[in-house]
Amino acid sequence: MLNRTHLIDTSESAGRSSSEKDSTPGVIAALRDATAERHELLHEIMPLSVDSVALRDYLAHLAILRDWLEPLDAWLQTFNDGPQSPALPASMNRLALIDADLANASVSPRDLAGIDEIASAGRARRWSGPQSAAYRWGVCYVIEGSQLGGAVLYARLKERLAPHPLGYLDAGRDTLGPRWRAFTRAIAAEVQTPVSIDEACRGAADAFDRLIELAQRPAGAACTSLA
């Protein structure tokens, strides 16, 4: 199982030292505890958790992420405070990276079989959740953390899945650690009260639950928005 590489990694892959772990901000520790079981479940059910990963598995992985991210991104873009503050680093255009990988010239119709054949069915539903900044910080905790394992996965899969460029995994590999640390500093500064921490945990749990729901769909229903 790829040596238990964390496919959705919100804590361990950012290169924290032991001293950093000892001083983990309260909200980050709470978020980690609130989502630990969901985190482990995703390691078992996402397509890249199989023993022998093929390009089809990578594309199915991307399709699930796309269905998850599209409504979240649309919802988050309606805000300009909290994690959407202009003062914070701009969000990554993950949907564009996913679309580029799905449309790469190395992808054959056979690779996409069972992924894009139901493109017209079950379009990604709108996301509706509390509008508080704390809740959105929790949602963004999961989104930002979802790419932390990408560098490790890229190193392990780049030769096996060549000539596909694995652009989604490759994107920003050298800056993901610093980006994550900047994010955790920002959320620690903004989410400090017990009420706001609980709200952030709710946002993270909701984001994880939706991703789990998508990952548990029957095989062949991995993508609903590739038309």
Please tell me the distance from the alpha carbon of residue 124 to that of residue 59, in angstroms, as a whole number.
17
Query: Of all residues in the chain, what percent carry a pLDDT higher than 70?
Result: 81
138 within 8 A of 204, measured Cβ to Cβ:
yes
Q: Which of 121, 147, 123 is nearest to 61 (CA)?
A: 147
Write down the pLDDT at residue 227: 31
Q: How confident is the model at residue 115 (pLDDT cuts 50, 70, 90)?
A: confident
178 within 8 A of 112, measured Cβ to Cβ:
no
Please tell me the distance from the alpha carbon of residue 185 to that of residue 191, in angstroms, as a whole number.
10
How many Cβ atoms are within 10 Å of 221's Cβ, its own excluded?
Answer: 19
pLDDT of 95 > 80? The answer is yes
Please tell me the distance from the alpha carbon of residue 33 to that of residue 215, in angstroms, as a whole number.
22
pLDDT averaged over every residue in the chain: 83
> What residue segments make up the domains of the chain, in order of their start?
26-216
199-217 confidence digits (pLDDT tens): 999 999 999 999 999 988 7
* Topology annotation, domain 26-216: Heme Oxygenase; Chain A (1.20.910)
Per-residue DSSP letter, 51: S
pTM, full prediction: 0.83
7 within 8 A of 157, measured Cβ to Cβ:
no
Q: Please give the average per-residue pLDDT across 75-80, as a whole number.
A: 94
